[in-house]
Amino acid sequence: MSEPARIGLLGHGTVGGAFADLVAERADAVAEIAGRRPEISGILRRSEGDFDEVLASSDIVIELIGGTEPAREYVLRALEAGKHVVTANKQLVAQHGDELFDAARDAGVQLRFEAAVAGAVPVIRVIQESLGATEIAKVFGIVNGTTNFILTEMAKTGASFSDVLARAQELGYAEADPTDDVSGADAAAKMAILARLAFGTPVGLEDVSFEGITDIQPDDLAYAKDLGLSLKLLGVAERREGGLSVRVFPCFLYGGHPLAPIEGPFNAVMVEAPAITEITMSGPGAGGLATATAVLGDVVSILSGEAPVHVPGERLEVVRDVASSFYLHLEVADRPGVLAAVADVLGKNGISVRSVVQRGTGQEARLVMVMHETPERAFYSALSELAKLDFMRATPRAIRVIEEEFV
Ligand SMILES: NC(=O)c1ccc[n+]([C@@H]2O[C@H](COP(=O)([O-])OP(=O)(O)OC[C@H]3O[C@@H](n4cnc5c(N)ncnc54)[C@H](OP(=O)(O)O)[C@@H]3O)[C@@H](O)[C@H]2O)c1
């Protein structure tokens, strides 16, 4: 049997602790598949260990600290020292990808990060390797389990965003500081990584526009149910007009959509390409053991052979004004002519209406509409005109809708 593969572990928290246990449990199985037995040769955490010693005693460095510093410095130093690196850190790869991939290429070592997107679901490997030679048109999905849990609970119980968030924190589905998740920043980092791999172009966090779910109201979900829609926080990376669009936004889906049944903390990613039509992958997006499983899978890949080399292609232009269809919620005065005035503003901006539901009377009167696809700039200009109409009782609320129906 060959020499053991020495693993230096940076971080021993939820994922790092689960990974150390998993290595102890599965070392023989890894040795059978990959020819070398992994063993933890050093651990660094805030309260334990020394980075230089861990580095010197390892062949592979696993970064499970999180955040950008000191994770970035440690990962760069490990790559420069000729060590393979595995990380689960999406912000690190999304914000410093160019620098890290260059360092790995220069040193002739592997940088793997399967666990950084969709936890245990092997989306990176599929996009980078299985579909490595396929021209991908679009990658999209639900890549944040915390927000999917919150939206699922809001739809089921009718409770408010803040009540459901508090429950998610109690259950361990949301962190004490949930900002990154609920603002869409976490999903944006994951979409930057997926876009970079799918389109072979440098994509950073600054190229991704994102919106979160903090403004979603329980009645948006109630009306959506009536219209046969379900609400998800969606990440979309696609080729558009010779460029690239990477966005994260809350969005209604029709019942037949493959992502509509993805509920609770689960993740799902779809890849579309002319050659393959579409592939959907789903599963647990987080959790210590699930994430550690993806990290160990990367270790097996490193021990088994070569990793794809990242030679970024030309930088693609980021297209910001894409076309979308929208759901629109208007709280209006209950009087004649309101619907005609709304239709007039929409018509002047070239927006056509797919469906309208009138709800309530008096102080409760509302118009709930779904539009056909329209350039977003035109829609937002109509929205600001609508907000100024004298019969509007509250600021209009708009949420995107994916019109595509799957059969
Ligand atoms: N949790 C999940 O389900 C999940 C899923 C997918 C990806 N990830 C990613 O996995 C990574 C780790 O997440 P986690 O949930 O395991 O985090 P965690 O439970 O907070 O653990 C972080 C670990 O890093 C150590 N650490 C923090 N700052 C350090 C520093 N300056 N120097 C040395 N060690 C330091 C901590 O040390 P102490 O033990 O001394 O405090 C702790 O052991 C993150 O990038 C996260 O985004 C997590």
Q: Write out the chain's pLDDT in tens, 407 residues.
A: 689 999 999 999 999 999 999 999 999 999 999 999 999 999 999 999 999 999 999 999 999 999 999 999 999 999 999 999 999 999 999 999 999 999 999 999 999 999 999 999 999 999 999 999 999 999 999 999 999 999 999 999 999 999 999 999 999 899 999 999 999 999 999 999 999 999 999 999 999 999 999 999 998 888 888 778 899 999 999 998 889 999 999 999 988 899 999 999 999 999 999 999 999 999 998 899 999 999 999 999 999 987 776 667 788 899 988 999 999 999 999 999 999 999 999 999 999 999 898 888 888 899 999 999 999 999 999 999 999 999 999 999 999 998 765 44
Is the distance from CB of 238 to CB of 140 less than 8 angstroms?
yes
Token duo for residue 132: 């490595």
Q: Which 3 state secondary structure label does DSSP give 63? A: strand
**What is the separation of C-alpha 3 from the centre of its chain, rounded to a whole number of angstroms?**
38
Nearest to 261 by CA among 175, 182, 155: 155
Cα–Cα distance, 194 to 320 (Å, whole number): 18
Which one of the listed residues 138, 190, 232, 348 is annotated catalytic? 190
Could you tell me which residues are beta bridge partners of residue 267?
A: 283
Distance between CA atoms of residues 405 and 407, nearest Å: 7
Q: CA 5 to CA 385: how far, in whole Å?
A: 64
Q: Is 92 in contact with 100 (CB distance < 8 Å)?
A: yes
Amino acid making up residue 233: L
- The C-alpha atoms of residue 407 and residue 404 are separated, in whole angstroms, by 10
Q: How much distance in Å is there from the Cα of 288 to the middle of ligand 1?
A: 10
pLDDT at 355: 87
Beta carbon of 265 within 6 Å of any ligand 1 atom: no
**Amino acid identity at 312:** P
Closest CA to 266 of 89, 116, 119, 155: 119
pLDDT of residue 288: 94
Residues facing residue 164 across a β-bridge:
none
What angle, rounded to 10 degrees, do the helices at 185-199 and 90-107 form? 30
How far are the Cα atoms of 227, 242, 343, 385, 386 from residue 354, in angstroms, in the given order? Answer: 11, 29, 12, 20, 18
Contact status, residue 394 vs residue 327, Cβ threshold 8 Å = no
Residue 341's alpha-carbon distances to 271, 335, 348, 358, 389, in angstroms, are 41, 11, 11, 14, 9
Tell the residue nearest (CA) to atom 18 of ligand 1. 13
User: For ligand 1, is residue 47 a contact (CB within 6 Å)?
Assistant: yes
pTM: 0.94
Active site residue 190: yes
Distance CA 17, CA 201 (A): 34
Q: How far is the CA of 126 from the centre of ligand 1 (A)?
A: 26
Amino acid at residue number 326: F
CA of 15 to the centre of ligand 1 (A): 7
User: What is the C-alpha to C-alpha distance for residues 84 and 107, in angstroms, rounded to an integer?
Assistant: 9
Question: Which pLDDT score is estimated for 407?
Answer: 41
Give the bridge partners for 356, in sequence order: 369
Q: Does a cis peptide bond (omega within 30 degrees of 0) precede residue 70?
A: yes
